[in-house]
A and B are shown apart, each in its own frame.
Chain A
Amino acid sequence: DAGVIQSPRHEVTEMGQEVTLRCKPISGHNSLFWYRQTMMRGLELLIYFNNNVPIDDSGMPEDRFSAKMPNASFSTLKIQPSEPRDSAVYFCASRQAGGPGTGELFFGEGSRLTVL
């Protein structure tokens, strides 16, 4: 089975541009997480969804960041306008919530964003 798929793997953009990161969770998983990883702050939870509904977005840094999950197989994280301090690796992860599992997350390979 395919794992969590993220795109693009690498993105270089200029300050002020809009950035859209995409994620396809594992088929059958109904919970999706977005994390940001930086050297200084480690792995921060930005937002997570259960059954396409945002449950906790308290980690979203500011209004420049938005996330959507229009259906069970697709999510986007958008930054508009982007700033150099947004440079980081953004991870998407999914899991099966509410079922017999034990709650572990399955991660994509990440999207490395560089804002110049």
Chain B
Amino acid sequence: AQSVTQLGSHVSVSEGALVLLRCNYSSSVPPYLFWYVQYPNQGLQLLLKYTTGATLVKGINGFEAEFKKSETSFHLTKPSAHMSDAAEYFCAVSLNRDDKIIFGKGTRLHILP
């Protein structure tokens, strides 16, 4: 069965600093991987996704993630944090585009002024 582990339930970075949110997955087949963001009292929104092809994927709001099969990782990065990036971020995995999507427990990102 597929699963996702997000390291760190809370991450704090200064405004303008690099954002790095870690995600490791477990999957029996090449996975589909997703990052979602959740702002307070809202549903989840897709940031970016990896299905096949290029391993570095770019998403909205300046975020990107790199699929590393050898490390079973899909870490999310952004070069320079903005106050508006404060939210909860979820990594998710699926076996294929039609299978169930399993989410990690989330990482809350705090931006320090």
Residues of A within 8 A of B (CB): 4, 31, 33, 35, 41-43, 45, 48, 50, 55-56, 91, 93, 97-98, 101-110
Find residues 31-72 in chain B having any chain A CB closer than 8 Å to their own CB: 32, 34, 36, 41-46, 49, 51
Find residues 67-112 in chain B having any chain A CB closer than 8 Å to their own CB: 90, 94, 96-106
Given known A42-B103, A104-B34, contact A110–B43 (CB-CB < 8 A): yes
Given known A42-B106, A43-B106, A108-B43, contact A101–B100 (CB-CB < 8 A): no
Minimum CB–CB distance from A72 to chain B (whole Å) comes to 16
B101 adjacent to A33 (CB under 8 Å) = yes
Task: Find B102's partner among A45, A91, A97 (CB 8 Å cutoff).
Answer: A45
Q: Which residues of A contact B101 (CB under 8 A)?
A: 33, 45, 103, 105
